[in-house]
Every structure is written in structure tokens, then in C-alpha cells.
Amino acid sequence: MSERQPLLEVRDLDVAFRVNKQDVPAVRGANLTVHPGQTVAIVGESGSGKSTMAHAIIGLLPGTGHVTGGEILFEGKDIATARKKDIVALRGASIGLVPQDPMSNLNPMWRVGSQIKESLKANGIASGKVADRRVVELLEEAGLPEAQRRARQFPHEFSGGMRQRALIAMGLAARPKLLIADEPTSALDVTVQKQILDHLDTLTDELGVAVLLITHDLGLAAERADHLVVMYKGRIVESGPALEILQDPHHPYTQRLVASAPSLASQRLSSLEHRAEVREQAQRSAVQVAAVGDEAGAPPDDVITVQNLSKVFRLPGSSPFRKTDFLAVDDVSFSLRRGTTTAIVGESGSGKSTVARMVLGLLEPTSGTVTFDGVDVSDIGSRADKLALRRRMQPVFQNPYASLDPMYSVYRSIEEPLRTHDIGSSKEREARVRDLLEKVSLPASVMRRFPNELSGGQRQRVAIARALALEPEVVICDEAVSALDVLVQAQILTLLNDLQAELGLSYLFITHDLAVVRQIADDVLVMQNGKVVEAAPVETVFESPREDYTRALLDAIPGGSIPLGVVEAGDDLPRRGLDD
């Protein structure tokens, strides 16, 4: 039975951090088994203890972290209690690590090749000329073209994906038996993520390396791993064969995760008929408002129309006083129908956020027009009219940690738009703030708190309340849910959806995540390198995409191809695990 000897076995592991002379547990009673050549994934939200567990295995717990109980058996030997020297010998040679952030994990002062050579030397594998040759081989193996030249470059000359490949080459340099990959692709665009994970899969298969994959993305884990471990608040709640867990989750937390994962669920949050009602309602109230005013004719069906919008940034060029033009947005046109959501999807550098900023009037377009409710925004001259336009269009930004002034209490943050526009007495404003907090499902007691006391999701709710304070018709969400954990993200998406139905809002939704788009959008605009690649209703984009790029984006959604809703079939499957 020697082949059935597990490579790594974690038994009843407890890890704690010392805070103010007390042990605060981070991982409790965790069990985990990895066999040679297998891919095992640990899935959990931020703070679930998944990274702590990985760091405990490789003996790199940060700060005051330490193992307080249980054992970590690597090839039968306990490394939790091993001497420091033995663990150092194990690191690199037997257990490799691919760290999370490719931007900060390479030394910017060293050539990439030298950094990989360092790991060869440290593990006593090769040195000198032999090592140089080996470095090039390793980089080639990790899928970097022109490895010879690349090895002599510095990290800043590499893109995020290339850096991650270099880190993979480093992790595999000493041919370890186990590779720990801690969120190896969470900082990368989806298409790059797919390429890198595909490559890592084939590489570790060829080399027979076992992989312990740490990720927050259930879809990705299920797609890549044989065995899945789900962690929640420092404990493992469920483990077993990946597909089985996904298709038939037992623990309520796993059920919740499966239900919320956008890559897996991916259906419009509300039905089509309901959507049509919302739209009609929004149009009706717009007509009423127009009738009260003296404007002639009914307002247009499209609340925002963008025509031939372009933006050129002038960047420092090759010599002093020379500037080069960078075309960030290239001839973009679209419209946002009243009461609906138009999503702009694209990877980093696609120009999607620049479009949002131009629509918001935070950035001057180089050419093209933005029309709001039939009026060209650039024609509005007086400050009073500009303020009036501001009231009708509000943003919600990406970073929940930067979108609220840390010096302002929640009350002041939400009240600020009202005060800026001189709305109501202070009593009325307070009543309005209470009302807004209720709309975003936060207790009124949160008013006196400050952003530093709130979680990311709660801050985003406050930001939404602030955006709604002026009763806008259009809300522009720039990656508004991208920084949130899946469950919180699902909550905020539901909230946005409910608010749209209740208030007849129109959303311009900027995101990099196509999976989220299916949950919230009616129309989709796919952008690449500043241009619109494809524009169509959401069903068309998902069911019959016309462009290759859109297809590539769809393919890259992790776990998108895993069939779900086979719960009954899953129940009929023989439980092989039980009679093994």
C-alpha cells in the first residue's frame, strides 16, 4: 500500500495568533489529505483561515501565528514540531510556493533570471553556468516565450501574467513534490488566469507534482481540483470530491456558497416579465415628470446616449517635452434605456472605467457626446444646471475602503449630498438619512459610526445610500461589487436589483466579471483596448456571442462549464467514499 501513502496529511490542526497576550484561534481542528500528484483546493472567503492553513504547512506563519495543536505530516514526518532547520530544508526542495500577489513578490532590483537562479542555488541544485541554462529551461517550461531574453529582464518589464509565470517557474525550480498555490491568479484578468491555470495543470501533471490550491472562487476550485475542502470561520465545514460537493452540497454554508457564486448561478436576479414592468414604470414616471415641466414632447426612451466618445491621454514620451498620445477610449457609442441596466465588461486597460468617468462628467471627453435625457451634457453652461444634472446621476465606486471619507461619520457622508444641494432643514435631512439607511438595510444606529468600523459590504451599502440621497435616475456602478466576498457580493447585487425595481433606477454597470453581468444586466457592451467589441442584449451575448474575444471571456469564467442542478442525479450516485 505504499502508493496509497498520502504526501501531506494534516490532522486536527489548530493555529492561533497571539494578540494582547492571548491566543486568538485562526484555524481549528482542520483535517486535510493530499496524495502524490493530486490537486486539492481549499475554498473560503477572506478571513476563513485558508491562507493561514497554507502558511502553517510551509512553516511561514506571519507575525505571532503559531501551531497550537495537531500535526502536519509530510511524507509521514511531523513538520509542525520539526526543527526550524529541517523545515527550511523542506521548503523549496519538497514544498514549493506560488504566492498571491505577483506584483510584490519579485524583488524589483533583481533580474528575473537571477531570482530563479537564487532558488536553484539555495536548494543546492545547480550553480554557475549550469544554473543559468536551467533558469531558461524553467522559464520556457512555465510558458514564457523568448525565455533567454526574458531571464535578463527586470520584473517591471513583465506584465502581471508573466510575473506569475516567473513565480511558478521559481516554485517548481527545485522539483518539489507539493506546490502550494495561494490565490495564484486572483490579481489577474480572467483570460490570463485561464491560460496560467491551464498551463499549471499540464505542467504539474507532467511532473507529477501535487498542488494545494488556495482560492476564494468555488467555480475555479471545482474546475481545477480533484478534492475540495471548504473552510468557514477557521473550520473546515465540508470536504470531498470536488464535483460531488458542487453538485450536492450538504453543509448549509457550502449550499450558500454554491448558490451565491456568480460563475455558477448566473441567471438574471429577477424574471423577464418583472423587468419589463420596472422599465415601463420608469418610463411612465419620466413622462409624468416631463409633463409637469414645460418641456415639449415625451422624454426619450434612452436616458443616456453616448455617441462616438473618445479619450486621448497625453503621456510622457521617449524624450523630454515630448508627449505620446494614448487612445484610452476609441469611438464608443451606446445607450442606456430607462429602468434597465447596461453593463460594460472588459479586462484591465479596456477603457471601461474611463467611459464611466466621462459619462459622470469627472473627465472631459476628447471627442464625442454624452446626452442625458435628450440634452447634450457639454452644452450645459451654468453652474445651477450642472448641479441639477449631478442630482440625476450618481456613482458607486469600486474600492469600499476609499469611497467614503474616513473622517466623516456615516451620517455626514450620506447627508453631504443633501447639504451640498441645500435640501431640507437639518431635521428633514436626518429623517432622510434614516430612510436611506433603511433602504440599504442598515440599522439607523450605524449613523454615528465611522467607515473604519464597517466591513467592505457595509461601506458599499453606505456608498449606495449616499448615491441615492439625491434621488437620481441613473446610478453608475464602477466595479461596485468587485472587491467583495461572494456572499456579500450576492447580497449587494440583490440590493441593487431590488432598488432598481423600487425606484425605477437605470444602471450603468462597469465590471470585469462576466458572471456578475448575467445576474444584473439587460444589455452588455464588451470592450477591449478602448473599443467596443460587441454590444447586444445579455442573453445574446451569453448564448450566441459573435466575437472571438467575447467567447474567450465566457470560456474563461471559472467553473462556467460545470453542470449544476443535478442534485437528484448526485443523490443517486453510489457514495463511493463510504464503502472505500
Partner 1 sequence: MRDLMPGQQRWVAALAETPLKAVDVLDTEAPPESQWKEAWKRLRRNPLFWMSSVLLALLAVVLAVPGLFTDADPTFCQLSDSLANGRAGHPFGFDKQGCDVWSRTLYGARASVLVGVLTTLLVATIGIVTGAIAGFYGTFPDSIVSRLGDIFFAIPLLLAAIVTLSIFNNLNPDRGFWGGCLAIVFTLALFAWPQITRQMRASVLQVKNLEFVDAAKAIGASPRVNLLRHVVPNSLAPVIVTSMISLGVFITTEATLSFLGLGLPSSVVSWGNDISAAQNLVRSGQDLSVMFVPASALAITVLAFILLGDAVRDALDPKAGKS
By CB under 8 A, the residues from 351 to 410 that bind partner 1 are 357, 360-362, 386-387, 390-391, 393-395, 397-399, 402-407, 409
Secondary structure of residue 343 in the 3-state scheme: strand
- Min separation Cβ 504 and partner 1, Å: 20
| Residue 458 in contact with partner 1, rule: CB under 8 A | yes
Piece in contact with partner 1 (CB under 8 A), picked from 3-11, 78-86, 112-120, 551-559: 3-11
Cβ count near 299 (within 10 Å): 18
Burial 479-495 (b: 16+ CB within 10 A, else e): bbbbbbbbebbbbbbbb
Instruction: Name residues contacting partner 1, limited to 106-165 (CB under 8 A).
Output: none
Q: Which is nearer to partner 1, 269 or 463 (CB)?
A: 463
Sheet with 367-372, side-by-side order of all strands: 323-337, 302-316, 367-372, 375-376
- Min separation Cβ 578 and partner 1, Å: 7
Decide: 354 and 532 in contact? Cβ < 8 Å.
Answer: no
Q: Which is nearer to partner 1, 91 or 466 (CB)?
A: 466
| Residue 251 in contact with partner 1, rule: CB under 8 A | yes
Decide: 404 and 343 in contact? Cβ < 8 Å.
Answer: no
Q: Which is nearer to partner 1, 232 or 334 (CB)?
A: 232
What is the DSSP code (8-state) at residue 91?
A: B
Region for 235 from its dihedrals, namely left if φ exceeds 0, alpha if ψ lies in -120 to 50, beta otherwise? beta
Q: Which is nearer to partner 1, 20 or 288 (CB)?
A: 20
- Min separation Cβ 326 and partner 1, Å: 18
| Residue 65 in contact with partner 1, rule: CB under 8 A | no
Q: Which is nearer to partner 1, 259 or 536 (CB)?
A: 259
Instruction: Name residues contacting partner 1, limited to 221-250 (CB under 8 A).
Output: 226-227, 232-233, 235-241, 243-245, 250
Instruction: Name residues contacting partner 1, limited to 33-52 (CB under 8 A).
Output: 33, 35, 38
Give phi and psi for 292, each to the nearest 5.
Answer: -65, -45
* Number of residues engaging partner 1 in binding (CB under 8 A): 76
- Min separation Cβ 462 and partner 1, Å: 11
- Of the residues 22, 63, 84, 297, which one makes contact with partner 1 according to CB under 8 A: 63
Decide: 35 and 205 in contact? Cβ < 8 Å.
Answer: no
Region for 441 from its dihedrals, namely left if φ exceeds 0, alpha if ψ lies in -120 to 50, beta otherwise? left
Q: Please report, to the nearest 10 degrees, the dihedral formed by the alpha carbons of residues 403, 409, 415, 419 taken in order.
A: -100
Amino acid at 259: A
- Of the residues 291, 448, 502, 551, which one makes contact with partner 1 according to CB under 8 A: 448
Piece in contact with partner 1 (CB under 8 A), picked from 122-130, 266-274, 437-445, 547-555: 437-445
- Min separation Cβ 114 and partner 1, Å: 28
- Min separation Cβ 535 and partner 1, Å: 25
| Residue 446 in contact with partner 1, rule: CB under 8 A | yes
Instruction: Name residues contacting partner 1, limited to 459-498 (CB under 8 A).
Output: 463, 466, 470, 487-488, 491
489 vs 495: CA distance, rounded Å: 10
Instruction: Name residues contacting partner 1, limited to 410-429 (CB under 8 A).
Output: 416-417, 420-421
- Min separation Cβ 162 and partner 1, Å: 27
**DSSP letter for each residue of 273-324:** HHHHHHHHHHHHHHHHHHHHS--SSPPPSEEEEEEEEEEEEEEE-SSTT-EE
| Residue 256 in contact with partner 1, rule: CB under 8 A | yes
- Of the residues 68, 455, 482, 529, which one makes contact with partner 1 according to CB under 8 A: 455
Cβ count near 351 (within 10 Å): 24
Between strands 474-478 and 393-396, the pairing is parallel
Instruction: Name residues contacting partner 1, limited to 557-576 (CB under 8 A).
Output: 575-576
Rg over CA atoms, the chain: 27
Q: Which is nearer to partner 1, 86 or 453 (CB)?
A: 453
- Min separation Cβ 407 and partner 1, Å: 5
- Of the residues 179, 181, 192, 454, which one makes contact with partner 1 according to CB under 8 A: 454
Q: Which is nearer to partner 1, 155 or 456 (CB)?
A: 456
**DSSP letter for each residue of 412-423:** HHHHHHHHHTT-
477 vs 36: CA distance, rounded Å: 45
Q: Which is nearer to partner 1, 167 or 404 (CB)?
A: 404
Piece in contact with partner 1 (CB under 8 A), picked from 31-39, 148-156, 502-510, 516-524: 31-39
SS (H, E, C) 185-216: CCCCCHHHHHHHHHHHHHHHHHHCCEEEEEEC
- Min separation Cβ 78 and partner 1, Å: 16
